[in-house]
């Protein structure tokens, strides 16, 4: 290694005379534009050289000349030469670069270029430290990066218009992730703007990012717009504008996002992909990698729209929610360390050096329904999150290891990191708000507690698998509505089967009534999906529903939606206003072929004259519906169904029976079809049937040997 101050013998480099690199040496009493231009040309010349022998020879000759002249410019040239050597593989030369820039700072402390070079050298040292496996710990290189940040900040303070400094200052702030560095960098950009920031597009790109991180969306968007006006990469600039608009609820976010996706520039495309891969499946990422231009726009639109449909949300909501979550993760769940060491028994390894595991779950599933951050004696940082979901809650436990900011997923509360002596009863009590299971854990006997502990761990392990491989944005309501609902495929509309959504809302308080007293407003959201996630039918409408006369606290309603034939996954939510409602669990629905080409029977509609809910398939036919499916044992049930595919005039046979474990009551009869759609209404007397759970089974057969069977559950109760 050679340092300024040593005295090697001077000789010319064979491939280029040293004078071409050093040029005329101006006086060392100031740093004016010609000097900066001289260094800039020198750095440009270095950037095309990748031969370490030639670069080392140049460094030795600079040292020899600098020894005679003792000039800061020679120190700068030597420093940038050593940086180039570090960049092409001689990482240790970053130390020589640091020494040279230190000398330049000592000789000319008011030169921003000297501080700027020192910052670059410190960054190179940080990279070298990170690339060396023998450097242990979880904050490797952080000290060097902090030194780099302070050097860039000093350069910006000395000359706010020295543009190369500002992007490096911002990059260092984001690498360090601590908000205090972001604030300092943002203030440096603002001072530069007041002093006359030039037209370097890269500076405005980083300024916009700093303003967004600092919570100033309008300033952020303005900076990105200047970035684009000064020749910035269009796709990247539009994505940055979209990130800000979406994260802070500004208009036009989705438009900016899709507008930027059409460009095939490498940097912009990589940024789109980086945002996507935080939640996307491998097949979705592969699809992204295959498309170009307008096809990429279509792929992204479908990616986000499909998620909106699955969650019964308006198009665009999931995209915006993604960037809201990213902003929260980067401001609340960031990592300051540079290395994460995993223990063998850890249940999940994200591999991220930007986010802790809380951020992984937050980005995928959003804000938890419940968050518990208790203090428990001798327990290190820990918390638990619960996501209330109709298909089963997800529960996540987080604990810290060596780094007190690095929260990791744990399968059970009994895996939380303890310094020793944590009372188990206190640990269990600290989670009682999460689930009744923890209350039982604290009171049951030894064998019962062991069984519950195994169940608690199973829940934690399952939650980790689901939480880290799926994403969601489920509807949530502050106040739940008690809902009972049936989905019945009966009748046709526009060539497709009609699916009736019959519902009963319990606890429908009068405070939810419409202002004019016309009825109780109910918003119904429904969608049916194929196995590949494609939506085949949907409904999102509001209705005014009357209360029942018998029970003033119950609301009954029925809506219908056309659904194609097939077997679908379905989702249903009902709500009153924005804060009262319930999302029901996923269900399946089979819709038959009702066009008459095959022998088919619709679903069975069961109702009662006393329940004021009905449907008129024709002006002369009335079908009654009881969404709850309960009937007193001494009552009569009104049954309605439709038979398709029997030729008019033909005789068909019907068998109808009540079953429990085995048939309890059976009827058989023959009927003549009047048309290709035969509408049947029957009154069934329940006298003689004991209270309990039953299925009403119906089978239809014709003279051609075709048969079709359907059924419906019902409950017989004491009046």
Condensed to tens digits (0 to 9), the pLDDT of residues 283-303 reads: 999 999 999 999 999 999 999
Minimum mean pLDDT range among 8-22, 162-176, 320-334: 8-22
**pLDDT at 20 > cutoff 60:** no
- The radius of gyration computed from the CA coordinates of the chain, to the nearest angstrom, equals 36
Whether residue 633 contacts residue 717, with contact meaning beta carbons closer than 8 Å, is answered with yes
Condensed to tens digits (0 to 9), the pLDDT of residues 539-597 reads: 999 998 876 655 556 789 999 999 999 999 999 999 998 899 999 999 999 999 998 88
Q: So what's the pLDDT on residue 552?
A: 55
β pairing state of 496-506 and 520-529: unpaired
Q: So what's the pLDDT on residue 241?
A: 98
Q: So what's the pLDDT on residue 553?
A: 67
- Give the three-state DSSP class for 673: coil
pLDDT band at residue 377 using 50, 70 and 90 as cut-offs:
confident
Q: So what's the pLDDT on residue 25?
A: 37
Q: So what's the pLDDT on residue 562?
A: 97
Which residue's entry shows tokens 């009171």? 443
pTM of the model: 0.90
Q: So what's the pLDDT on residue 17?
A: 30
For the stretch 540-547, contacts whose Cβ atoms lie closer than 8 Å and that sit 24 or more positions apart, written own/partner, are: 540/312, 540/314, 543/519, 544/514, 544/518, 544/519, 544/520, 545/519, 545/520, 545/521, 546/519, 546/520, 546/612, 547/508, 547/520
**pLDDT at 24 > cutoff 80:** no
Helix (H) or strand (E) holding 155: helix 142-158
Q: So what's the pLDDT on residue 511?
A: 58
Condensed to tens digits (0 to 9), the pLDDT of residues 73-87 reads: 899 999 999 999 999
**pLDDT at 4 > cutoff 70:** no
Q: So what's the pLDDT on residue 7?
A: 34
Condensed to tens digits (0 to 9), the pLDDT of residues 182-218 reads: 999 999 999 888 777 666 899 999 999 999 999 999 9
**Residue 510, number of CB atoms within 10 A of its CB:** 10
Residue 326 or 336, more confident: 326
- Give the three-state DSSP class for 607: strand
Q: So what's the pLDDT on residue 22?
A: 37
Helices 217-229, 201-213: axis angle to 10 degrees equals 170
Residue ranges of domains in the chain: 1-108, 233-336, 340-469, 477-592, 595-719
pLDDT band at residue 57 using 50, 70 and 90 as cut-offs:
very high
Q: So what's the pLDDT on residue 289?
A: 97
Q: So what's the pLDDT on residue 38?
A: 85
Q: How many residues does the chain have?
A: 719
Nearest-angstrom CA–CA distance, 584 and 571: 7
Q: So what's the pLDDT on residue 548?
A: 65
In this structure, what token pair is assigned to residue 284?
């979705």
User: Could you tell me which CATH number the domain at 477-592 has?
Assistant: 2.60.40.10
Per-residue pLDDT, averaged over 121-129, amounts to: 96
Per-residue pLDDT, averaged over 6-17, amounts to: 32
- Mean of the per-residue pLDDT values of the chain: 90
pLDDT band at residue 8 using 50, 70 and 90 as cut-offs:
very low
Pick the CATH number of 595-719 from 2.60.40.3880, 3.30.70.270, 3.30.70.20, 1.10.443.10: 2.60.40.3880
Q: So what's the pLDDT on residue 422?
A: 81
pLDDT band at residue 37 using 50, 70 and 90 as cut-offs:
confident
Residue 315 or 68, more confident: 315
Condensed to tens digits (0 to 9), the pLDDT of residues 517-541 reads: 567 899 999 999 999 999 999 999 9
The number of angstroms, rounded, from the C-alpha of 604 to the middle of its chain's C-alpha atoms is 41
Q: So what's the pLDDT on residue 500?
A: 97
Q: So what's the pLDDT on residue 2?
A: 43
**pLDDT at 12 > cutoff 50:** no
**Which distant-in-sequence residues (6+ apart) come within 8 Å of 639 by Cβ?**
604, 605, 606, 680, 681, 682, 683, 684, 696
pLDDT band at residue 707 using 50, 70 and 90 as cut-offs:
very high
pLDDT band at residue 421 using 50, 70 and 90 as cut-offs:
confident
Q: Do domains 477-592 and 595-719 have the same CATH topology?
A: yes
Per-residue pLDDT, averaged over 482-489, amounts to: 94
**pLDDT at 5 > cutoff 80:** no
């Amino acid at each position: 290694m050679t340092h300024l101050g040593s005295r090697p013998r001077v000789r010319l480099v064979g491939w280029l005379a040293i004078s071409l690199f050093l040029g005329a040496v101006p006086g060392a009493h100031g740093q004016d534009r010609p000097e900066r231009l001289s260094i800039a040309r020198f750095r440009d010349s270095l950037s095309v050289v990748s031969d370490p022998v030639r670069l080392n020879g140049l460094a030795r000759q600079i040292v020899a000349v600098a020894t005679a002249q003792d000039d800061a410019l020679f120190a700068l040239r030597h420093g940038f030469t050593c940086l180039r050597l570090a960049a092409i593989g001689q990482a240790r030369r970053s130390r020589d670069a640091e020494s040279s820039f230190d000398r330049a700072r000592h000789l000319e402390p008011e030169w921003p270029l000297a501080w700027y070079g020192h910052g670059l050298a410190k960054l190179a040292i940080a990279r070298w430290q990170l690339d060396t496996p023998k450097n242990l710990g979880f904050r490797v290189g952080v000290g060097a990066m902090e030194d780099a940040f302070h050097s860039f900040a000093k350069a910006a303070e000395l000359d706010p218009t020295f543009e190369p400094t500002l992007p490096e200052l911002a990059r260092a702030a984001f690498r360090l992730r601590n908000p205090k560095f972001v604030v300092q960098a943002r203030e440096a950009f603002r001072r530069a703007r007041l002093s006359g920031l030039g037209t370097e597009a890269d500076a405005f790109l980083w300024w916009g990012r700093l303003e967004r991180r600092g919570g100033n969306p309008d300033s952020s968007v303005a900076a990105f717009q200047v970035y684009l006006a000064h020749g910035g990469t269009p796709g990247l600039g539009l994505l940055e504008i979209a990130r800000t608009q979406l994260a802070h609820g500004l208009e036009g976010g989705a438009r900016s996002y899709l507008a930027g996706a059409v460009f095939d520039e490498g940097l912009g495309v990589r940024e789109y992909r980086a945002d996507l891969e935080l939640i996307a499946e491998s097949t979705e990422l592969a699809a992204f990698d295959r498309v170009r231009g307008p096809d990429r726009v279509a792929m992204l639109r479908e990616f986000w729209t499909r998620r909106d449909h699955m969650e019964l949300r308006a198009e665009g909501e999931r995209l915006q929610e993604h960037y809201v979550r990213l902003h929260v993760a980067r401001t609340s769940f960031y990592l300051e360390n540079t290395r994460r060491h995993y223990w063998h028994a850890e249940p999940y390894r994200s591999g991220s050096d930007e986010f802790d595991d809380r951020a992984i779950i937050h980005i995928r599933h959003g804000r938890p329904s419940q968050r518990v951050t208790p203090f428990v004696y001798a327990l290190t940082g820990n918390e638990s999150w619960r996501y209330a979901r109709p298909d089963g809650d997800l529960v996540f436990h987080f604990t810290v290891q060596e780094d007190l900011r690095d929260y990791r997923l744990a399968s059970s509360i009994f895996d939380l990191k303890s310094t020793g002596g944590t009372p188990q009863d206190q640990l269990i009590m600290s989670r009682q708000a999460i689930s009744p299971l923890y209350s039982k854990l604290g009171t049951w006997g030894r064998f019962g507690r062991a069984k519950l502990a195994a169940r608690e761990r199973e829940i934690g392990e399952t939650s980790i698998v689901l939480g880290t491989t799926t994403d969601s944005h489920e509807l949530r309501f502050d106040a739940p509505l008690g809902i009972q609902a049936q989905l019945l495929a009966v009748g046709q509309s526009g060539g497709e089967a009609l699916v009736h959504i019959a519902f009963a809302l319990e606890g429908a308080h009068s405070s939810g009534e419409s202002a004019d007293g016309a009825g109780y407003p109910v918003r119904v959201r429904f969608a049916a999906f194929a196995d590949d996630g494609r939506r085949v039918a949907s409904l999102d409408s509001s209705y005014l529903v009357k209360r029942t006369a018998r029970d003033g606290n119950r609301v009954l309603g029925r809506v219908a939606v056309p659904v194609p034939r097939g077997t679908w996954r379905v989702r249903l939510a009902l709500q009153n206003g924005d804060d009262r409602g319930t999302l029901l669990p996923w269900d399946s629905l089979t819709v038959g072929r009702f066009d008459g080409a095959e022998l088919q029977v619709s679903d069975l509609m069961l109702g009662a004259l006393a329940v004021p809910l009905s449907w008129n398939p024709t002006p002369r036919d009335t079908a009654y519906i009881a969404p709850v499916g309960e009937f007193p044992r001494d009552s009569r049930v009104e049954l309605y169904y439709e038979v398709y595919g029997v030729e008019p005039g033909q005789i068909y046979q019907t068998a109808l029976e009540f079953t429990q474990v085995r048939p309890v009551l059976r009827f058989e009869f023959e009927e003549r079809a009047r048309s290709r759609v035969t509408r049947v209404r029957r009154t069934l007397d329940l006298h003689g049937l004991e209270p309990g759970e039953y299925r009403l089974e119906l089978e239809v057969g014709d003279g051609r040997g075709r048969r079709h069977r359907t059924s419906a559950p019902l409950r017989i109760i004491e009046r």
